[in-house]
Amino acid sequence: MKNKNRNLLDAPSNTELEVLGINAGHMAKQRLISMGIHVEDSLVKYTNSSWGPVLVKNVTLNSAKVAIGKRLAAKIMVGYEET
């Protein structure tokens, strides 16, 4: 098992992901916080299509699924255990 680090857009679907950081400006970070996505939270990514938003659920907060645009998703750095 290896710990993989990449952005949310490139991460696999249906895998528990840990938010390691957000490489974005102040307003983008505030938008993610208002959606319930914080550093060190655990997320599950539900979609992996080449079009449309990225659908994720915050497992840490047991929140509803939220849709994140691809540009914003590319700025969220996540880590996960690969089997």
Confidence tier at 1 by pLDDT (50, 70, 90) = very low
The answer to whether residue 80 scores a pLDDT higher than 70 is yes
pLDDT at 83: 65
Residue pointed to by tokens 């938003």: 53
CA 56 to chain centre: 7
For 11-66, write each residue's pLDDT tens digit: 999 999 999 999 999 999 999 999 999 999 999 999 878 888 999 999 998 889 99
Q: Determine whether domain 2-82 maps to CATH 2.30.30.90.
A: yes
Which letter does DSSP use for residue 53 in this model?
P
Map out the domains of the chain as residue ranges.
2-82
Confidence tier at 82 by pLDDT (50, 70, 90) = confident
